[in-house]
C-alpha cells in the first residue's frame, strides 16, 4: 500500500531481513520477592510500511511489550529471553549505549497520556528539537526549523511551537507528541493508546493523521490499544494478547471477520457497535489471572466457555492456519483446517 521511502539503514543492518522481528519475548517484573510474568513468549513481525495493532485489556502485557522494544522498561523489569531484531540486529538486552543508535532514530514511541510525557516548563518546539540536536547532532537553529516543519506536518501551525504544553488542547498535545516521535525520522512509530483519552472526533482526526503520515513518510506503525474498533479502522494486521501471551494474530480482515480464539470472539462481542442493530453484548466472567501465579496450560482456560481438560494442563501451541492467521488454542491443533469454532451460547453467570 505504501511505497517505502528510501532511508539510510544503520550500519549493521541486514537489508534482506524484515523490518522488525520479535521472537519468544519474555519480560518479567520483580515485585519484592515475587516475579510477575508480564510478557511470556510473544512473537510477531512487522514489515515495511505495515500497521500492526496490538490489542488486549489491561494487564495483558501490551504496553510492557512496547517498552521492551524501545528499551524503556522500569528498573524492576527486564527482558529475560527472546530476541528483538531490527533489520536483523538484535536489540534485546542491549545496554543504553547499545541502543542509542536505534532508539528514536529507528523506533520511536508516542506515549499514553501526553500531559505526562511532555515537560511542562519547556516550549513545545524546543521539546521536539531536543532529540534532533541530541541524536542527529544538528545545530540548534536548524533543529528548531525542523521542529517547525514537523509541527506543520502534524497539523499544528508553526507559530504555536512557542506554546507550553498546558496551553494546548488535548488533541494538539497528542499531535505534538507525534511530531516529537517523528523528530529523527524513524522507521517505526509505536503508539501506546494514542487516542484513548481523546474525544471521538479528535480521535478520528488523529487516526486520519496517522494514516496520512504512513502514506507520505512510508512509516511503519505499531498501535497498542484496548479499543479493537480503532485497530479495525487503521491497522493491516492485529495481534490479540491475553495474560502475557499471544491469543490470535493475523490480517484484520481475517481475525475480525471470522475470529477463532474464544477470547477474540468474546472480546469482539463485547464492543458496542453503532452501525449494527442493538444487540447482545458479550461478557467474560471472571478476571485476568494474577501474573505472579499464572495458571498452567492455557491462561484463558479459567474463563473460557469452551475449555477442555487439555487446556488446563498444556500450553496451546501457536498454529499458523491456511489464511495466515496464527492462533494459540487447543481448539485449533496443528493440522486443523482452521474453521472457526462457534462458542457455546448461553450465559455463564457474571460476578
Partner 1 sequence: MTAAAAMATSTRRPSRWRALGGFLRRYARRRDGMLGAAILVFFGVLAMAPELFVGPLQTVVTATGGRLQSPTAEFPLGTDHVGRDVLNLVVHGARVSMIIGLLATVVTVLIGAVIGVVAGFVGGRVDGVLMRITDFFLVLPTFVLALILTPIIQDLVGSGSREILGIRMTLIVIVVVIGITSWSSSARIIRGQTLSLRERAFVDRARVIGAGPGHIMLKHILPNVMNLIVANAVLVFAGAVLTETTLSFVGLGDPFQPSWGQLLDAARQSGAPGLLAWWDFVPAGLCIVLVVFAFTLVGSALDDLLNPRRRARS
Partner 2 sequence: MSDLADREGPEPGQELLRLEGLEVHFPVRGGPLDRLTGHAAVVVRAVDGVDISIRSGEVLALVGESGSGKTTIGRVIVKLTRQTAGRIWLDDEDVSDLWGVRALRTYRRRIQIVFQDPYETLNPRQSIYDFVAEPLVVNKMVSSDQERRRRVMDALDAAGLRPSEEFAARFPHELSGGQRQRVVIAGALVMDPQIVVADEPVSMLDVSIRTELLRLMLDLRAERNLAYLFITHDLSLAWVIADRIAVLYLGKVMEIGPAERVIRSARHPYTAALVSVSPSPDPPKEAGAPNRTILVGETPDAAHVPAGCRFHPRCPLAFDRCRSEEPPLFDVGGGQRAACWLAEGGRELPVLPASAAVSADGA
Contacts to partner 1 by CB under 8 A: 29, 31, 36, 38, 58-59, 61, 63-64, 244, 287-288, 290-292
- Which part of the chain contacts partner 2 (CB under 8 A), choosing from 3-11, 166-174, 304-312, 328-336? 166-174
Q: What grid cell was written down for 327?
A: 492462533
CB of 104 to partner 1, least distance (A): 24
DSSP class per residue in 49-115: T-EEEEE--TTSSHHHHHHHHHT---TTEEEEEEEEEETTEE-TT--HHHHTTTBTTTEEEE-SSHH
For 15, half-sphere exposure in the C-beta direction (CA atoms, 13 angstrom radius) is 4
Going edge to edge, which strands form the sheet with 77-86? 34-46, 20-31, 77-86, 89-90
Q: Please report whether residue 273 would count as binding partner 2 according to CB under 8 A.
A: yes
Q: Please report whether residue 284 would count as binding partner 2 according to CB under 8 A.
A: yes
Q: Which of 47, 218, 256, 294 binds partner 2 (CB under 8 A)?
A: 256
Taking a C-beta distance cutoff of 8 angstroms, is the pair 128, 161 a contact? Answer: yes
Q: Which of 180, 223, 239, 252 binds partner 2 (CB under 8 A)?
A: 252
Q: What grid cell was written down for 52?
A: 500492526
Binding mask 328-347 for partner 2 (x = CB under 8 A): -------------------x
Nearer to partner 1, 30 or 320 (CB): 30
Q: Give me the torsion for CA of 109, 263, 35, 309, rounded to 10°.
A: -160
Contacts of partner 2 in 183-202 (CB under 8 A) = 199-202
Alpha helices in the chain (DSSP H): 62-70, 96-99, 114-117, 124-136, 140-153, 170-181, 200-217, 228-234, 252-257, 262-269, 309-313
CB of 334 to partner 2, least distance (A): 26
CB of 26 to partner 1, least distance (A): 13
119, interface contact from partner 2, partner 1, none, CB < 5-8 Å by kind: none
- Which part of the chain contacts partner 2 (CB under 8 A), choosing from 102-110, 128-136, 155-163, 294-302? 155-163
Whole-number Å distance between alpha carbons of 163 and 180: 15
User: Which helix (H) or strand (E) segment is 27 a member of?
Assistant: strand 20-31
Which positions touch partner 2 (CB under 8 A)? 57-58, 155-157, 159-160, 169-172, 175, 199-205, 208-209, 212, 226-230, 232-233, 252-253, 256-257, 266-268, 270-276, 278-285, 287, 347, 349-351
Amino acid at each position: 500500500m505504501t511505497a517505502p521511502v528510501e532511508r539510510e539503514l544503520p550500519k549493521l543492518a541486514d537489508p534482506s531481513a524484515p523490518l522488525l522481528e520479535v521472537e519468544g519475548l519474555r519480560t518479567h517484573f520483580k515485585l519484592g520477592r515475587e516475579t510477575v510474568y508480564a510478557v511470556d513468549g510473544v512473537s510477531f513481525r512487522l514489515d515495511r510500511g505495515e500497521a500492526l495493532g496490538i490489542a488486549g485489556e489491561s494487564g495483558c502485557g501490551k504496553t510492557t511489550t512496547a517498552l521492551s522494544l524501545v528499551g524503556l522498561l522500569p528498573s524492576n523489569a527486564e527482558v529475560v529471553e527472546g530476541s528483538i531484531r531490527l533489520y536483523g540486529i538484535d536489540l534485546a538486552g542491549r545496554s543504553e549505549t547499545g541502543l542509542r543508535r536505534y532508539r528514536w532514530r529507528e523506533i520511536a514511541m508516542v506515549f499514553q497520556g501526553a500531559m505526562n510525557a511532555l515537560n511542562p516548563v519547556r516550549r513545545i518546539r524546543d521539546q521536539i528539537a531536543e532529540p534532533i540536536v541530541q541524536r542527529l547532532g544538528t545545530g540548534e537553529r536548524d533543529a528548531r526549523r525542523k521542529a517547525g516543519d514537523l509541527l506543520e506536518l502534524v497539523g499544528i501551525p508553526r507559530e504555536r511551537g512557542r506554546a507550553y504544553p498546558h496551553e494546548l488542547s488535548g488533541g494538539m498535545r497528542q499531535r505534538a507528541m507525534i511530531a516529537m516521535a517523528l523528530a529523527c525520522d524513524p522507521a517505526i512509530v509505536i503508539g501506546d493508546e494514542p487516542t484513548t483519552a481523546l474525544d471521538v472526533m479528535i480521535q478520528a482526526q488523529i487516526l486520519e493523521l496517522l494514516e496520512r503520515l504512513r502514506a507520505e513518510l512510508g512509516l511503519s506503525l505499531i498501535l497498542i490499544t484496548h479499543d479493537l474498533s480503532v485497530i479495525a479502522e487503521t491497522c493491516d494486521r492485529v495481534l490479540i494478547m491475553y495474560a502475557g501471551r499471544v491469543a490470535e494474530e493475523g490480517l484484520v480482515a481475517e481475525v475480525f471477520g471470522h475470529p477463532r480464539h474464544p477470547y477474540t470472539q468474546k472480546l469482539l462481542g463485547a464492543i458496542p457497535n453503532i452501525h449494527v442493530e442493538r444487540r447482545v453484548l458479550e461478557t467474560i466472567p471472571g478476571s485476568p489471572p494474577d501474573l505472579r501465579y499464572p495458571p498452567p496450560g492455557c491462561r484463558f482456560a479459567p474463563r473460557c466457555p469452551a475449555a477442555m481438560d487439555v487446556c488446563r494442563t498444556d500450553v496451546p501451541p501457536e498454529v499458523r492456519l491456511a489464511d495466515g492467521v496464527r492462533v494459540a488454542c487447543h481448539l485449533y491443533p496443528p493440522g486443523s483446517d482452521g474453521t472457526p469454532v462457534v462458542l457455546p451460547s448461553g450465559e455463564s453467570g457474571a460476578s
